[in-house]
Structure 1
């Protein structure tokens, strides 16, 4: 999605694009001339599951404008596969998720992804492959609007190691799941996780 952006705001999706995306759901087109992100965010029903599109010849400039109104946090995570072709999921904040965390100062995104996965799940990463995708989501922290950019990487482990969820990070469960076991998890996960699975050719 070069020069096109998909930003998740709770259950809502905001597309910045120069061509209308093909979607099954109804999509509300926003007026570029009058669009003001702080106003849009303030009036947004965060619990709704709506899709919005900002059609513009320069999606990058529109994204930069949104970014200027937010605190940018960089994070990195992994889609981890074991020797049995099972995938690693964690349970945190009452939802199934993939392991990820904030990038520390001076740390490369790829290094941060490995460190976070190893810390959150108690495993050793055998190989760290190519970047699968990047995701963007916006949330509120006190009075600050945060834009989190997460880079996702393909990873493998040796065998099928025992998982040790990092409870101090709010992770209550961690498990290995085959492709055929994912449906119940995907009914209780974040929209951006579905994008990672598509990028990893699991869905």
Structure 2
């Protein structure tokens, strides 16, 4: 089952029909995406399930429902095993951002981490799962598709939050502090841990 988040509530893409309880079922093929977004915003609804026939084509079909924004980001570790977090909109997050033209997704991820945190010397270790979430910009819903990478840097200088992007803090967090930060983070970030 693939998952797209809307304000930390999941939309599941599935081929299985289950009896509705605290979730609603819709057929993916001809669903009105605005109706789905209205439904998932209700307090009594914990998730939405969009049902299709071919599990290999579910995400492709969903991507056609909304404009796509491609982004890259990083879960960066240092030589102590600490993880680089940013603090924005009263939540802990990982650095990420929108891809620019003629840029590989790996280049996007490294550039965005460096811009948002001031960290350099970034090296990609391995790809991590891609996450999906729906957000609103200028009154229009969009699907953000974020390609994540585990990265390493031995950077030890002062961290520099990108204030003009709303980032108020950048910190290296040890395992215990990272766990605590994740309790005030986003569902799609928690998937990376």
Q: What's the TM-score bracket when you normalise by the shorter of the two chains?
A: 0.7 to 0.9
Runs of 4+ in 1 over 2 A off after TM superposition: 17-20, 26-29, 31-38, 46-49, 51-57, 59-69, 159-162
Partner of 1:30: 25
SS of the residue corresponding to residue 62 of structure 2 reads: helix
1:69 to 65, 70, 73: 65
Once residues 47 and 176 of structure 1 are traced to their aligned partners in structure 2, the CA distance between those partners, rounded to angstroms, is 35
Contact 2:124 2:151 (8 Å CA) reproduced: yes
Asked if 1:88 corresponds to 2:107, the answer is no
Shift, 1:168, TM fit: 1.1
Once residues 91 and 62 of structure 2 are traced to their aligned partners in structure 1, the CA distance between those partners, rounded to angstroms, is 27
Shift, 1:106, TM fit: 1.0
> Under a length normalisation based on structure 1, what TM-score does the superposition of the two structures give?
0.83
Asked if 1:52 corresponds to 2:48, the answer is yes
SS of the residue corresponding to residue 16 of structure 1 reads: strand
Contact 1:69 1:145 (8 Å CA) reproduced: no
SS of the residue corresponding to residue 191 of structure 2 reads: helix
Shift, 1:185, TM fit: 1.0
Gaps of 5+ in 1: 21-25, 198-203
Partner of 2:101: 105
Once residues 59 and 37 of structure 1 are traced to their aligned partners in structure 2, the CA distance between those partners, rounded to angstroms, is 19
Asked if 1:136 corresponds to 2:138, the answer is no
65-74 or 82-91: which moved more? 65-74
SS of the residue corresponding to residue 180 of structure 1 reads: helix
Asked if 1:184 corresponds to 2:190, the answer is no
Aligned length: 190
Once residues 168 and 30 of structure 2 are traced to their aligned partners in structure 1, the CA distance between those partners, rounded to angstroms, is 44
Relative to structure 1, the CA distance from residue 34 to residue 146 in structure 2 (aligned partners, 3 Å threshold; closer, same or farther) is closer
Once residues 133 and 47 of structure 1 are traced to their aligned partners in structure 2, the CA distance between those partners, rounded to angstroms, is 29
29-38 or 161-170: which moved more? 29-38
Relative to structure 1, the CA distance from residue 49 to residue 166 in structure 2 (aligned partners, 3 Å threshold; closer, same or farther) is farther
Alignment RMSD: 2.4
Shift, 1:184, TM fit: 2.5
Asked if 1:15 corresponds to 2:12, the answer is yes
11-20 or 134-143: which moved more? 11-20
Partner of 1:114: 110
Q: Deviations over 1:146-187 (max 9, x none)?
A: 000000001011153421111111110000111112232112
SS of the residue corresponding to residue 105 of structure 1 reads: coil
Asked if 1:78 corresponds to 2:71, the answer is no
